[in-house]
Structure 1
Amino acid sequence: MPAPLFPLFTDLDGRRVLVVGGGLVARRKIDALLEAGARVAVGAPALEPAVADLVATGQVEHLHGRFDPNWLNEAWLVIAATDSRTVNRAVAVAAEARRVWANVVDDAELSSVQVPSRVQRGDLQVAISSAGAAPMLARHLREQLEIQLDESMGALATLLGRERQRIRRHFPDIAARRAFFDRLLAGPVPALLRRGDAEGARRAFESELQDSPAAAPGRVLLVGAGPGDAGLLTLRGLRALNQADVILYDRLVSEEVLALSRRDAERIEVGKQVGGDHDATQDRIHALMVEHARAGRCVVRLKGGDPFVFGRGGEELEVLKAHGLDFEVIPGITAAVACAAYAGVPLTHREHAQSVRFLTALGREGHDPIDWPALAQEHQTLAFYMGVGHLARLRDRLVEHGRDPATPFVLVENGTRTGQRVVAGTLADLPETAAAFEVKAPALLILGEVAGLAGTLHWFGAPPLRHDAALARAA
């Protein structure tokens, strides 16, 4: 069994590197070498246009002709990127004789050095190598790290690099220095950089440096979990779930999304139950957010859909602001957008709908804020949240104010999930159709001309279910 590779990061700034080959593969290697500051010479009888442009502008030296071992003179590294294994082998043999490290593209056997898959965030680099044995695995891991590592990591690396000597002077003891970094990275500095507040991050860094070991303040991340399909969770939402100490989650958040969270995070269900006291539940949510954030924890308030679309996210931020707590909002894909897409219903369409309205069928008790005459106009799409228990009233009010009873609708039950059902019909028979198929929450009502496209554009799950409610009543 071959010995494992010894990982290194090489400083090529101002050093000569030879690339043998002038095609597209060579071009990709040249671009990376120039980024690292190398003095690049390319040896080949012909060059692809982009490489020729680099030669013409003086960025790259061209050694014309077939490979000559003398090209290796003064080279620190050589990359063989031709489509001829014979030429590549000759390069590797000549490099070995001169003790020059050689990388032969896609040929681990001939290479004395490997170029790993790489994830870069500013000065921070993560390199992955399988020693050439499983390049697709290395590529897969790189793609996963691209998701996990936020772009702000580059700014964080720059900040820490700039302040490195100050940190060493302030904490000469390595154990104390490690403890400082643990506090710093768990504190507000990364979050402030993630939201683009470089000045706030600098102040937080100074505070941490001068006031250590003060406990890091807690914060709340208001995260939209999307409608259920874990694949629709945003990358930033995924990162938040992996930072959380405490997760306060709604009843409609799917198990698949929760499974993506940090395994040692405390999970507390705070969902509002049908028929329960929603205001009392909301008060409890407020109290839990404040309690855990004040205790220095990272709290993720995880909501189905988007926090600011019928999610009472604004009320929760007002409470956090009143208590002087730090917060961040991470949007999610709201149910209307996702459920419509998974049901094959475009919310807008040049021929059928020039506007879309998001509405909730629930208002404060005794108050009906809906502008029914405006909603009764045609060529607009209405997306009703929390409307399953109010379908008869919705139908009656819309028809009463002039909406065509033949207007198509779809009810999307458990949208985007494996149990999704789409029930279709016309406004005239909306409540009867829902009753016939026993539609239950969570379900979203989409009403408008575009809903008629569900029958032909559906792609996820079973085709829409239809029921002739009028015939059923006559029977």
Structure 2
Amino acid sequence: MLKAGARVTVGAPVLAPELREWAKQGRITWHAGAYQANWLDQTWLVIAATRSRPLNARIAGDGHARQRLVNVVDDPALSSFQVPALIDRSPLLVAISGGGTAPMLVRRLRERIERLLDPALGSLPQLVHRYRARIHARRRFHASSTPGSVRMAPLARAQNQLATAQACGSVILVGAGPGNPDLLTLRALRALNEADVILHDALISEPILDLARPDAERIAVGKRGGAMHTPQASIHALLLEHARAGKRVVRLKGGDPFVFGRGGEELQYLREHGIAYEVVPGISAALACAAYSGVPLTHRDCAQSVRLVTAHCQQSLNTLDWSDLARERQTLAIYMGVSQLDELARQLLAHGRAAATPFALIENGSLPQQRTLTGTLHELPALATRHAIQAPALLILGEVAAQANASHWYGELLGATPPSFTLASPLADAA
């Protein structure tokens, strides 16, 4: 109440030390003693917070008779209004109320929304008010000066955007992680809620797309072997077309934009064409699959390095240094290698990797249908065929992969004795 500028009077027989000090400082007025109805004569809002319900009812009755706003703490039946939970991004305020019936739920909702609203959000209304006469295409200005852009730079930068907001939009390269919406970053979620247009890969799950603005235009630009394929040049052209139309474009990529995601190529293209951009990292498949199968990618006893490798076609395999990859005491995380497992195993064995090297092959990592296949390098192709492992799947090869048999905790474990417990998927019901 003090923060809102109210003149606060506290009526009570005694005051806590902090309130007593405030009364001495003149911050509040103190009515000492037992409650008197005339305390309400010069007030417009009354809060009753005594431990006695009969006394609270009496205060509420006196307040209602004087046509005052009355709140009795934790007693909606006696109240004429409820005090909401506030999210303060002054001058922007968000209030949440459960009608006094569910304070715990309201607190949890406030905590969740608090995390979604960037602290810099409050500076935008002031900026818009200051330049109101100069803003003609307001929607484009709001799209180009979101809380993310203000957070990343001083307010002066947002002011400079006024000059260019009408001319061009912008692009955010967003990593969507392995497909589980729970693994999106907060910044990725904000970007989806700000987007006018979303260009998304084939592996982006529907639950993630459902988090976007309902009116955002969705354009599938996936690359899938043996299916529809969108050339990279066409993706570049779409990014440029929509950004130049003044739109907020999200380029939504599985995993991380800069790990086998051609994010570097798209960033270079945007830079060459003068398009403003931002990059939101995502949880890459190697990190997610390892974590959800209980495999540490490094271990001080047996793996001091991690190698990220792509093996989606014969051409990519021909560029690899097999002798280097076959070294021990390192972990290989091999992306897009399901169709090349025979060649992968043959080359690694031929270049000296031990046949008994453990592997973990994780299909649909972090999703409700996740399966983890374990075994040793020499039996990898046969086991994958026997269990009909399909893309998307990530191969983890190295001594650390043996820990999947003991530490596995999510989804189905194949090729080994299951652990004594399995944690149910948080998405199982929704799926």
Same fold, TM-score > 0.5, yes or no: yes
Q: 2:35 aligns with which of 39, 64, 68?
A: 68
Deviations 1:229-277 (A, max 9, x none): 1222223222322332322211111122222223333322221231689
Residues 207-222 of structure 1 mapped to structure 2, 5 A cutoff? 215-222=166-173
- 2:324 alignment counterpart: 373
Matching residue's letter, 2:275:
L
% identical aligned pairs: 49
Shift, 1:312, TM fit: 0.8
Name the CA distance, whole Å, in 1 between partners of 2:128 and 2:2. 21
Q: 1:310 aligns with which of 260, 265, 268?
A: 260
Q: 2:86 aligns with which of 96, 118, 128?
A: 118
Deviations 1:293-335 (A, max 9, x none): 2222222211111101111101100001001111111221111
Name the CA distance, whole Å, in 2 between partners of 1:56 and 1:349. 61
- 1:16 alignment counterpart: 8
Alignment check: 8 A CA contact 2:368 2:411 kept: yes
TM-score (norm 1): 0.75
In 2 relative to 1, CA 404–366 (structure 1 residues): closer, same or farther, beyond 3 Å? closer
1:246 matched to 2:165:
no
In 2 relative to 1, CA 118–369 (structure 1 residues): closer, same or farther, beyond 3 Å? same
Matching residue's letter, 1:113:
F
1:203 matched to 2:147:
no
Aligned length: 415
Deviations 1:410-457 (A, max 9, x none): 100111222211100122322222222222211001123332222232
For 2:283, what is the secondary structure of its paired residue?
coil
Name the CA distance, whole Å, in 2 between partners of 1:56 and 1:450. 65
Shift, 1:362, TM fit: 5.0
Q: 1:193 aligns with which of 150, 153, 158?
A: 150
Matching residue's letter, 1:88:
N
Q: 1:273 aligns with which of 215, 221, 224?
A: 224
Q: 1:333 aligns with which of 264, 279, 283?
A: 283
Name the CA distance, whole Å, in 1 between partners of 2:152 and 2:399. 40
Name the CA distance, whole Å, in 2 between partners of 1:66 and 1:375. 83
Residues 49-448 of structure 1 mapped to structure 2, 5 A cutoff? 51=18, 67-69=34-36, 77-96=45-64, 101-133=69-101, 135=103, 138-139=106-107, 142=110, 145-146=113-114, 148-161=116-129, 163=130, 167=132, 170=133, 180-188=137-145, 192-205=149-162, 215-274=166-225, 281-361=231-311, 367-370=318-321, 372-373=323-324, 376-378=327-329, 380-448=330-398
- 2:426 alignment counterpart: none
Alignment check: 8 A CA contact 2:360 2:374 kept: yes
Matching residue's letter, 2:379:
D
Alignment check: 8 A CA contact 1:16 1:74 kept: no
In 2 relative to 1, CA 252–224 (structure 1 residues): closer, same or farther, beyond 3 Å? same
Contiguous gaps of at least 5 residues in structure 1:
1-8, 21-42, 172-176, 209-214, 468-475
In 2 relative to 1, CA 402–109 (structure 1 residues): closer, same or farther, beyond 3 Å? same
Shift, 1:77, TM fit: 4.1
Name the CA distance, whole Å, in 1 between partners of 2:305 and 2:24. 52
Shift, 1:201, TM fit: 0.7
In 2 relative to 1, CA 207–257 (structure 1 residues): closer, same or farther, beyond 3 Å? closer
Matching residue's letter, 2:247:
R
Name the CA distance, whole Å, in 2 between partners of 1:62 and 1:386. 70
Matching residue's letter, 2:35:
D
Name the CA distance, whole Å, in 1 between partners of 2:121 and 2:386. 54
Which stretch has the larger CA shift, 287-296 or 307-316?
A: 287-296
Name the CA distance, whole Å, in 2 between partners of 1:419 and 1:406. 28
Shift, 1:195, TM fit: 3.0
Matching residue's letter, 1:15:
R
Alignment check: 8 A CA contact 1:192 1:198 kept: no
Name the CA distance, whole Å, in 2 between partners of 1:355 and 1:264. 45
Deviations 1:39-65 (A, max 9, x none): xxxx46474x8x579769969769697
In 2 relative to 1, CA 437–286 (structure 1 residues): closer, same or farther, beyond 3 Å? same
- 1:29 alignment counterpart: none
Name the CA distance, whole Å, in 2 between partners of 1:310 and 1:421. 23
- 1:212 alignment counterpart: none
TM-score (norm 2): 0.82
Name the CA distance, whole Å, in 2 between partners of 1:228 and 1:192. 26
Deviations 1:368-423 (A, max 9, x none): 24474365222x43211112233334334444555443232110011122221110
For 1:417, what is the secondary structure of its paired residue?
coil
Name the CA distance, whole Å, in 1 between partners of 2:304 and 2:126. 47
Alignment check: 8 A CA contact 1:88 1:104 kept: yes
Deviations 1:125-177 (A, max 9, x none): 0113343355566556545643553333222133235x1xx52xx37xxxxx8
Q: Quote the RMSD (CA, aligned, Å).
A: 3.6
For 1:463, what is the secondary structure of its paired residue?
strand
Name the CA distance, whole Å, in 2 between partners of 1:13 and 1:340. 53
Which stretch has the larger CA shift, 102-111 or 348-357?
A: 348-357
For 1:454, what is the secondary structure of its paired residue?
helix
